Structure 1
Amino acid sequence: MYTIPGHHHISMITKDAQINNQFYQTILGLRRVKKTVNQDDPKMYHLFYGDLSGSAGTELSFFEMINAGSTVRGTNAITQIGLLVPSFESLVFWKERFESFAVQQGEITSYAGRDALHFEDSEGLRMILINNNGEEVPEDWSSWEESVVPQQHRIIGMGPIEIMVRHLDRLATTLTDMFGYIEVSRSADEAIYQSVAGKSFGEIVIKQQEGASEKPGRGSIHHLAIRVQNEAELRYWDQVVKKRGFHSSGIIDRYYFQSLYFRESNGILFEIATDGPGFTKDSSIEALGIGLDLPPFLEERRAEIEANLTPLD
């Protein structure tokens, strides 16, 4: 039986790609590893930020929707993104850095049993810096040496992802019975699961909350993608999803990876995505994220697509 080795990427909505681009590169110090468009609606940017090569598990991705309204927070939504940093001293560094940039933040506290610093981007997307405290991370993650953030404090990759739902048991059962996640802790209204035992890079924190469902807008999270190694594994999971009674999108070729989508019983959208071929399929490591990259089926529309996009740099 195949297992899930961690998160692949997470995708959000931004209203303004220029502001988004500035925040994630200039303030968070992440590398823009791919500047492309939404393959289903190429009038909008699709931006990816991550480590040196945009390794699976480090990728934050954003769709630019210029008509996006405000997010109305509620349940049945992916609500917070954990980002791993090297140490407690890194949290102190980031608190001071956020103060210098007037970034909305809280005090250094704890989250899911680890030192943490909650903050929001300029559109209200909720994130948490988590002290990785020397824990092992995937060996393919590579630091981007041109980051504006000192090496000893750089964001390493994705950590715990928080999902709020009305029915905790339904999502918990999907994670454990279908994907083999391990239960780490459990209370009446919160549970923590890991795809790899003891590793925060594949951790999901489920919180149970009644009330109205979140109304998505700028700064909301669209979906979470989890990792598989290759197409053979993806085909296996496609059958598992269908046998479980969920509707699968079927396998879609996204050029940089292959994936499928399904919604679990609370309506949370998951993507299952392959590690490769990766963002260097049409770019050198050195040139990642500089030009507008398009999959081959959109290349003949390049002039039209570029005319509809506002330059970022």
Structure 2
Amino acid sequence: MYTIPGHHHISMITKNAQINNEFYQQVLGLRRVKKTVNQDDPSMYHLFYGDLTGSAGTELSFFEMPMAGRTIRGTNAITQIGLLVPSLESLEYWKKRFEHFDVKHGEITTYAGRAAFPFEDSEGLRLILLNNNGEEIPEYWAPWEGSSVEQKHRILGMGTVEITVRYLNRTARTLKDMFGYIEAARSENEAIYQSVAGQAFGEIVVKQQVGPSEKPGRGSIHHLAIRVKNEEELSYWDKVVKDCGFQSTGVVDRFYFQSLYFRDSNGILFEIATDGPGFTADSTVEELGGKLDLPPFLEARRAEIEAKLKPLD
């Protein structure tokens, strides 16, 4: 039986790729590791930010949708992204940095048992920095030395992801019974699940909230992707998803990884994605994110695709 070793990536909606590009590179200090397009609609950018190579578990990805309206917050949605930083001192560093860049933020607090610092990007996407406190991180996460953030305070990768649902037990069953996540904590209206015991890089907080479902828009989270090692494991999980009564897309070739998609009983969209081949499949490490990369099946349409996209530094 296979297990889930952590998060793979998380995908959001942005209205403006240029502003998004500036914030995640210049303010958060992440590397843009891939400038490509939405493979299902190549008229829009798909941007990925992460560590040196965009390792699984460090990737924040954005679809540019210029017509996106505002998000109307509600339940049955992925509602917050945790990002791990090395220490409590790092949270103080980021507080000063956000004040300098006029980033909307809260105060240093506690979240899911860790010192934490919540903030939002300019489109209202909710994120929270979490003190990793020297704990284990995946061995292949590699820092990007081109970051403008001080080395000892740089974002390490993804941490706790928050999902808000109308019926907690439904998503709990998906995580615990289907994927084998460990239930680390539970109260009446909230539970914490971990794919690796005690580790935040595969942790999900599920909160129960009644009311209308979220209406997605700019700054909303489209889906969470969880990791598997290879295509053999992905095929195994495809069968598990279907055997549990969910409708799977089946395996989809995204060139940089293989994946499948399904919605759980609360309508939360999950992706299951392989570690490889990764973003260096069509680029050297040094050149990552510098030019528009297209998967082979779109390469013949490059001129058409580039003509519809606004230039992006």
**1:119: which partner in 2?**
119
CA distance in 2 between counterparts of 1:151 and 1:312 reads 27
- The residue that corresponds to 1:61 in the other structure is 61
Q: CA–CA distance in 2 between the matches of 1:180 and 1:131?
A: 25
Task: Give the gaps of 5 or more residues in structure 2.
Answer: none
Equivalence map 1:42-61=2 (5 Å) = 42-61=42-61
Equivalent position of 1:188 in the other structure: 188
Q: What residue in structure 1 maps to residue 74 of structure 2?
A: 74
* 1:119-147 Cα deviation digits (max 9, x unpaired): 00010000000000000000000000010
Q: Give the superposed CA RMSD.
A: 0.3
CA distance in 2, matches of 1:124, 1:182: 31
Residue range with higher mean Cα deviation, 303-312 or 269-278 = 303-312
Q: Measure the CA separation in 2 of the matches of 1:127 and 1:174.
A: 24
Q: CA deviation at 1:311?
A: 1.1
Looking at structure 2, the residues matched to 247 and 294 of structure 1 have their Cα atoms a distance apart, in angstroms, of 29
Aligned to 2:2: 2
In structure 2, C-alpha distance between the alignment counterparts of 1:2 and 1:206, rounded to whole Å: 23
**Distance of 1:294 and 1:268 partners within structure 2:** 28
- Rounded Cα–Cα distance in structure 1 between residues aligned with 2:164 and 2:214: 10
Structure 2 distance, partners of 1:245, 1:206, is 21
Q: CA deviation at 1:115?
A: 0.3
Give the distance between the partners of 2:223 and 2:98, measured in 1 at CA: 26
Q: Which residue of 2 aligns with 1:172?
A: 172
TM-score with structure 1 length normalisation? 1.00
Matching of residues 1-313 of structure 1 within 5 Å: 1-313=1-313
- Partner SS for 1:236: helix
CA distance in 1, matches of 2:107, 2:36: 36
1:242, CA displacement in angstroms?
0.2
**Letter paired with 2:288:** L
Q: Structure 1 counterpart of 2:220, which letter?
A: S
> What's the secondary structure of 2:298's corresponding residue?
helix
Matching residue's letter, 1:228: V
Letter in 1 for 2:158: M
Mapped partners of 1:293, 1:50: distance in 2: 16
Deviations 1:237-296, CA, capped at 9 Å, x for gaps: 000000000000000000000000000000000000000000000000000000000000
The CA distance in 2 between the partners of 1:39 and 1:145, in whole Å, is 30
Q: Deviations over 1:5-42 (max 9, x none)?
A: 00000000000000000000000000000000000000
State the distance in 2 between where 1:256 and 1:144 align.
Answer: 20
CA distance in 2, matches of 1:82, 1:176: 20
CA-to-aligned-CA distance 1:189-228 (integer Å, 9 cap, x gap): 0000000001100000000000000000000000000000
Cα deviation digits, residues 154-191 of structure 1 (max 9, x gap) = 00000000000000001001111100000000000000
Using the TM superposition, give the Cα deviation of residue 312 of structure 1 relative to its aligned residue in structure 2, in angstroms: 1.3
Q: CA deviation at 1:153?
A: 0.3
Give deviations 1:28-82, integer Å, cap 9, x for gaps.
0000000000000000000000000000000000000000000000000000000
Distance (whole Å) between structure 2 residues aligned to residue 173 and residue 18 of structure 1: 39
Tell me which amino acid in the other structure corresponds to 1:285: V
Q: Which runs of 4+ in 1 moved over 4 A?
A: none
For 2:65 and 2:12, the matched residues in 1 are separated by 10
Which runs of 5 or more structure 1 residues have no equivalent in the other structure?
none
1:312 and 1:253 map into 2 onto residues whose CA distance is 26
